[in-house]
Amino acid sequence: MSTFDTLLDDLRRDFLRVQPKDSLQYCARWFQDRLEEQRTRIRDALVQTTLPPELPAHFFIDQSSSNYPSFSSSTRSSAPTVHSPFGTLNVPGNARLPQGPTISFNFDGQSPFNPASSAPEFSPTDFLAPPQSALGRRTSVSAESIEVTEHSDTVIPFEPKTPEQTARIKAAITNNFIFRELNEEQELRVIGAMSETRVAPNEVVIKQGDDGDYFYVVESGLFYVYVRPTDSPALPAPFNQANGTGAQPPASWNWTAADSVLHPLHGKKVTEVKDGDYFGELALMYNQVRAATVMCIEPATLWKIDRVTFRTIVLGSRHRIRETYKKFLAEVPLLSALNHEDRGKIADALQPREYADGEAVVVEGEKGESMFFIESGEAVATKRMPNEQGEVTEIIVGRHKTGDYFGELSLLHVKPRAATVRAIVRTDPVLQPKLKVAVLGVAAFTRLLGSLRDIMERNARNYSGMRQG
């Protein structure tokens, strides 16, 4: 096995043992630690084999410059600089790193190991060490840490809205990637927490370079979005000290909204925001400076929500769902062999889904991509089979109730669905709950339920092949 394969095997072993949340950060740190260990071993080996033990301590430290008269720096300055995220030490095993320039010293006939020789002065800045930015990931953005518990006392704001206003806000955010995965409860709470804000013409709602905390939905009005290059020249004196909010360009500049391709303060106009549009959505995910300036052109009404409120709603809802799933999974016979932590991982991967009466959950012959656990309600499994007259009809082969699961065989055997599963048609919708399932995707199924494969295979044989897959 090659050194490269061995390295990957070691990384895979450590990764599976730790199971980090941030895979990229863990791998980068893992390679960084390995490189530091390699540097230490090589440095120790060189010290033991090339330098006598009586040398002063400063000879064991890399130096970036020298006070000796004939230090050769021309090669260093002429060679192209290549940056590596893990440093540029050329040692055995780092064959793919670019070969850097060599540094030569001329000691004018004097031995550097002669104690009588005058040694140069060293300072901490002379030590060769890769910059911190070279060893880490690029500067990241972050958000506040929000603690969510069963008994959280965080008060979520609520502002009443008309059905028309709620519908307009919902229509505006439906296709936004941040809101797309919200369930109905989360979406309604987010909309309810939005507060109304009225904006006057020429008022700046968000300014490029400022910290972003709010997301906005336009109820009415018109806004222009401007972007100013970061390397643009300094502003004229009247605007150097302006904060931009409600600021008017000097009359000498003759700026009007009708001639708004280039704003003297905010830069170039890139787009417009009108009724039903939104802006500032990245502020809901993390604390990052605004990438553009948004200025009101016509009297406007906005609905806004801040990042902390949004994340508290989403995280609180997910926490409740997770705890509910953990309790539910503890009652599923298949998962009784798993410990509390493993069931928690499955709970994190589950997605809720509801089905109307008679609606198909899986269809016979289709490719299987999910496994299902029934939270509430009932489902019936049918197969297309020929009757005595040779006609193909659907035959009921099984029924599923709360705590049952189905869909696993298609994932185990990588085969099409062996049966169709539908929600039952309820005779009493008041007393009988709708079919609600928890969905586990194929990737999570393979990762989390691999240890239960034998149990699922045995259960399948007990049904004599009549269960659907």
Angle at which helices 340-349 and 307-330 pack, to 10 degrees?
130
- C-alpha to C-alpha distance for 312 and 188, rounded to whole angstroms: 14
Q: Enter the tokens of residue 301.
A: 């009404």
What is the chain's length? 469
Is residue 379 within 8 Å of 397, Cβ to Cβ?
A: no
CA dist 332 → 194, 295, 348, 372, 374 (Å): 39, 55, 16, 12, 10
C-alpha span between 193 and 306 (Å, rounded): 9
- Count Cβ atoms within 10 A of the Cβ of residue 267 and give its class: 0-12 exposed, 13-18 middle, 19 or more buried: middle
Question: Helix 23-50 vs helix 3-18: angle between axes, to the nearest 10 degrees?
Answer: 130
Q: Give the C-alpha distances (Å, rounded to integers) separating 345 from 291, 318, 340, 341, 378.
A: 36, 13, 9, 6, 26
Per-residue model confidence as pLDDT tens for the chain (469 residues):
567 878 888 888 888 877 887 888 889 888 888 888 888 777 766 655 544 545 454 444 444 444 444 444 444 444 444 444 444 444 444 444 444 444 444 545 554 445 444 545 545 444 455 555 445 555 455 445 555 555 455 678 888 989 998 988 888 888 777 787 777 878 888 899 999 999 999 999 999 988 888 899 999 999 999 998 876 554 444 444 344 444 455 544 455 555 558 888 888 899 999 998 989 888 787 777 888 999 999 999 999 998 888 888 887 777 888 888 888 888 888 887 788 888 888 888 888 899 999 999 999 999 999 999 999 999 999 999 888 888 888 899 999 999 899 998 888 888 899 999 999 999 998 889 999 999 999 888 888 887 787 778 777 766 544 444 4
Among 216, 329, 233, smallest CA distance to 278 is for: 216
Residue 350 CB neighbours (<10 A): 24
Residues 6+ apart with CB under 8 A from 436: 352, 353, 354, 355, 374, 375, 376, 377
Instruction: Show the tokens assigned to 390.
Output: 């040779």
On whether the pTM is more than 0.85, the answer is: no
- Known binding residue 417? Answer is yes
Q: Do domains 163-235+243-249+256-311 and 331-462 have the same CATH topology?
A: yes
* Angle, CA 49 vertex, CA 45 and CA 52 arms, to 5°: 120
- CATH T-level assignment (fold) for domain 163-235+243-249+256-311: Jelly Rolls (2.60.120)
- Residue ranges of E strands in 200-328: 204-206, 214-227, 262-263, 267-273, 278-279, 293-306
Spatial CB neighbours of 317, under 8 Å, sequence gap ≥ 6 = 183, 185, 186, 189
Output DSSP code: residue 27. Answer: H
Nearest one of 188, 191, 184, 186 to 434, comparing CA atoms: 184
Cα distances (Å, whole numbers) of residue 268 to 7, 121, 208: 50, 54, 12
For residues 45 and 263, what is the distance between their CA atoms, to the nearest angstrom?
Answer: 64
Phi, psi dihedrals of residue 107, rounded to the nearest 5°: -100, 15
Cβ neighbours of residue 176 closer than 8 Å, sequence gap 6 or more: 278, 281
* E strand or H helix at 396: strand 392-400
Where does 272-331 have alpha helices with state H?
307-330
**Residue 29 in marked binding region:** no
The class (CATH top level) of 331-462 is mainly beta
Task: Please name the residue that has the structure tokens 């297309």.
Answer: 384
What are the boundaries of each domain within the chain? 8-128, 163-235+243-249+256-311, 331-462
- Taking the C-alpha atoms of residue 274 and residue 368, their distance in angstroms, rounded to an integer, is 43
